[in-house]
Amino acid sequence: MGAILDPIEELKQHSVTDDHFREIDITSRLQQNMEINPYKNTSGYRSFTRKTVMSIVIPCLLLASFTAYAASGHIQILNNKGEVVVKTIDPPGSLPAKLSGLLEEYRVRVMSKLQQGELAAYYIKDDYINEGNGYDTLNPVKFEYRPTDYHSYEAFQKEQARTSAPPIKKPGSLPDGVKFAYGQVFPLGPQLYGEERAQYDALKQRLMHQAQSSTSQEKLFVEKLAWSKASNSVVYLSDGKSSTAITITAGYGKKASFTKLPDTSPEKVQLKHMEGIYLQHEANGDLVSWYDPNRSIVYAIMVNVKGLVNKDELLQLAESLIDE
């Protein structure tokens, strides 16, 4: 599933156990997957991480070395076992226009049924969407979440603690005029693997049974889900003009993928005792990401306003979020 629910010990005290980790994709700027695409407004796993980007899987790792594969111009960070934990990737393909349009239509309908903080699973009774689109026919159950905006850091911090969300410390080293705007947490829902697979299968069966037994023309079948644990946290910083001038995301897991456009040059950076990836793009702003092996959390900071911060300021902001 995606970052379902596809961004402060409080920290270790409130971190979730390994069984809560799963593969995810984060997407930047108003984004919604966890595959970090800071340069494109895409629609991915809208369900749980709007304005985020990441990819997640399982337990703790120690970042060790940084490797570049010259032919592709990509960079990857390896752990001490030689496993990739953070990497850059080519821009992913886009959804077929027809499929994208239909999914957006139903997504909007589901969102209209949700209050802040509510999560829903839904099934669309449509052969093209489920079987004939040639793109994604493996995930008939989709998810949507309407986040709650916490406009004080204290309220956001309490929600992180309550839901065992990946912690984001109060940002320091902020440029003049930049301040906390609001924070959000995104829930962890039924997973497609492991012990939780049975929950997902039962949910899928219920929704499909409703659809198959319905005698109406309705194609959308929705079930609201209770949730208590969060998978991602997101903080937005304002520059006085835009409330999303800078996006900070955090997600449980061990893998993160960042989209690299042809005219961008990723580079390795040192953030205190951790290694990270820095991406600069003249037209779209900068991004920095790193992996915290002690808590199995992927962090990313995306600058959404061109020229708001320079590289040094962005790296200082990142270091202000990292424990000594």
Which of 61-65, 123-127, 187-191: highest mean pLDDT? Answer: 123-127
pLDDT of residue 299: 94
Percent of the residues in the chain that have a pLDDT greater than 70, as a whole number? 76
The residue ranking higher by pLDDT, 233 or 72, is 233
The pLDDT score that the predictor gives to residue 190 is 83
What pLDDT sits at residue 53? 31
If one counts the domains in the chain, the total is: 1
Bridge partners (DSSP) of residue 252 are 297
DSSP three-state, residue 313:
helix
Q: Examine residue 282 and state whether it is found in any structural domain, yes or no.
A: yes
Picking from 230, 255, 252, 257, the residue whose alpha carbon sits closest to that of residue 296 is 252
What's the average model confidence in pLDDT over 4-10? 32
Read off φ and ψ for residue 209, nearest 5 degrees: -65, -40
Q: Work out the pLDDT band at 247, boundaries 50, 70, 90.
A: very high
Q: Is the pLDDT of residue 303 over 60?
A: yes
What predicted TM-score, i.e. pTM, was given to this entire model?
0.78
Alpha carbon of 22 to those of 45, 68, 178, 231, 264: distances in Å?
A: 14, 26, 33, 9, 29
Report residue 127: phi and psi, to 5°: -65, -35
- C-alpha to C-alpha distance for 228 and 232, rounded to whole angstroms: 12
Between 50 and 250, the more confident residue is: 250
Better-predicted residue by pLDDT, 70 or 174: 174
The residue with greater pLDDT, 304 or 196, is 304
4 falls within a domain: no
Q: Is residue 5 a part of any domain in this protein?
A: no
Domain of 246, in residue numbers: 11-320
CB 278 within 8 A of CB 77: no
- Give domain status of residue 6, yes or no: no
Determine the average pLDDT of the residues in 108-128.
96
Residue 255 lies in a domain: yes
pLDDT at 56: 28
Average pLDDT over residues 294-315: 92
Which span out of 83-92, 215-224, 283-292, 295-304 was modeled with the highest average pLDDT?
Answer: 215-224
Other CB atoms within a 10 A radius of the CB of residue 201 amount to: 13
Does 125 fall in a domain? Answer: yes
What's residue 82's pLDDT?
A: 80
Q: Is 269 contained in some domain? A: yes
Average pLDDT, the chain: 78
pLDDT band at 254 (very low <50, low <70, confident <90, very high): low
Q: How many CA atoms lie within 13 A of 137 on its CB side?
A: 9
Q: Is residue 40 part of a domain?
A: yes
pLDDT tens figures, 85-101: 888 888 877 888 899 99
Among left, alpha and beta (phi > 0; psi -120 to 50; other), residue 206 is: alpha
DSSP code of residue 195: G
pLDDT at 260 over 60: yes
On the question of pLDDT at 266 being above 70, the answer is yes
Q: What is the mean pLDDT of the segment spanning 258-279?
A: 86
